[in-house]
Amino acid sequence: MAADLEEKTDRYEGLLAEALDAASVAPPEGTPMHDAALDCEEMASSYLADGRHFRDDDDLVNALASFSYGHAWLDAGARIGLFDVPTEGHLFTV
């Protein structure tokens, strides 16, 4: 079971990092939606950093949860138009 958790944690970290690189803020600067996108992006980045901290402390359960929550912030933002994201592939559910 530990090997499965390790593999999944590593995979989700990679997915979140890749998704952060692939997403770009869609709304124009100076609008409330742009600010909302920046907030979502910051939350995703923070969860990535938190997950890496948990993984470094051998807390794989919380690391996996952090990576998953971070990706959820990006995915939700993409669905409501806060981010331009690839529509093909495995990173987003748009």
Please give the average pLDDT of every successive group of 10 residues along the chain, which has 94 residues.
85 97 97 98 98 98 98 96 93 86
Residue 87 lies in a domain: no
Structure-token pair, residue 2: 């530990």
**What number of other Cβ atoms are within 10 A of residue 36's Cβ?**
15
Whole-model pTM?
0.92
Task: Count the domains in the chain.
Answer: 1
Q: What is the pLDDT of residue 65?
A: 98
Domain that holds residue 7: 1-82
Q: What is the pLDDT of residue 2?
A: 62
Residue 92 lies in a domain: no
Residue 13 lies in a domain: yes
d(Cα 64, Cα 12) in Å, to the nearest integer?
7
